[in-house]
Structure 1
Amino acid sequence: MSKLLKILALTMGIACVAIGFAHIALGNDSVPDMADAGVTADSQSRFFGAIFVGYGAAWIWAARQSPIPAPAIRWLAGIFLLGAVGRAVSLAVHGWPHWFQIVLTVIEFVLPPLFFWLATANEDRVLSGHEPLAPSRSRSGV
């Protein structure tokens, strides 16, 4: 359970960091159907790209802890789920977006429950004594 959680959390973090840097580098061109959205949308896309890099770094930080902190995973997954809710609101208000955004919305609704379940299962395993604790590290995780 903990190995799967670690792999998925690391994958999530690396993907978010890569996506964030793509938004910083490409701006509107990083999002389907937004190439002509204008300067303000480009600025916002690049700004949110930086935020997404930080979000991905938080996933990587959590995945590197031993044991993996379930509350951190739950918070990060909850934020991801909130993004899916935002997309659903947009769909209700403005209609169907580009097909790729629909794929992302499905992923954003499916992954959080998986992370909630894995975090709880891993936490229960650690608390029951079935998961050995790694040697302690400094608070910075280094």
Structure 2
Amino acid sequence: MAARNPVAAANTIVCVCLLLATAIALGDGLQQLAQGGPADADNAHRFLAGVYIGWAPLFAWAAATIRRQGVLVYFLAVPIFLGGVGRLVSFGQYGIPSPEGVFLASALLEFILSIVIVWAHSTALRSRRALATS
């Protein structure tokens, strides 16, 4: 089925990635909201926790309506990628927190998710255009 319908396959990939992003945003946001941060940065941690939690429904909505989505999906991939960059900057400045494997996997997942979202969505849009012109 996937080989016959590249749009459906690519849309499914984008949906799964956006739902993973939803889980990451919700999980990290709730954790940061509960834990906060150091006293001099607590308000920034909790503010950004609210932003992450606020993005979660947007990621989920885009996944649910993927067939109608265009450029929005690319805009959603950007903060995921930048989150990975932020983790790498933090690792370079302060070292990798323990458990190291979890934090390295988180950074890797953010890079992979954003790249796969852009690739799969581009594939879906190209296939949609090709089907529309044929």
The gaps in structure 1 that reach 5 residues or longer are 29-36, 131-142
Percentage of pairs with the same residue: 21
The gaps in structure 2 that reach 5 residues or longer are 1-8
**Which residue in 1 is equivalent to 2:15?**
6
**Whose helix fraction is larger, Structure 1's or Structure 2's?**
2
**2:40 and 2:53 mapped to 1: Cα distance?**
20
TM-score norm. by structure 1 comes to 0.70
**Which residue in 1 is equivalent to 2:3?**
none
SS at match of 1:63: helix
Larger RCO of the pair (alpha carbons < 8 Å, separation 6+)? 2
**Which residue in 2 is equivalent to 1:124?**
126
**Which residue in 2 is equivalent to 1:97?**
97
**Which residue in 2 is equivalent to 1:32?**
none
RMSD of aligned C-alpha atoms? 2.2
TM-score norm. by structure 2 comes to 0.74
**2:62 and 2:117 mapped to 1: Cα distance?**
12
**Which residue in 1 is equivalent to 2:28?**
19
Superposed counterparts of 1:1-142, under 5 Å: 1=9, 2-24=11-33, 26-28=34-36, 38-98=38-98, 99=100, 100-129=102-131
Give the superposition deviation at 1:113. 1.0
Q: How many residues align?
A: 121
Give CA deviations for 1:35-58 in whole Å, capped at 9, x if unaligned: xx5334443322211100122222
Conservation of the 8 A alpha-carbon contact between 1:6 and 1:68: no
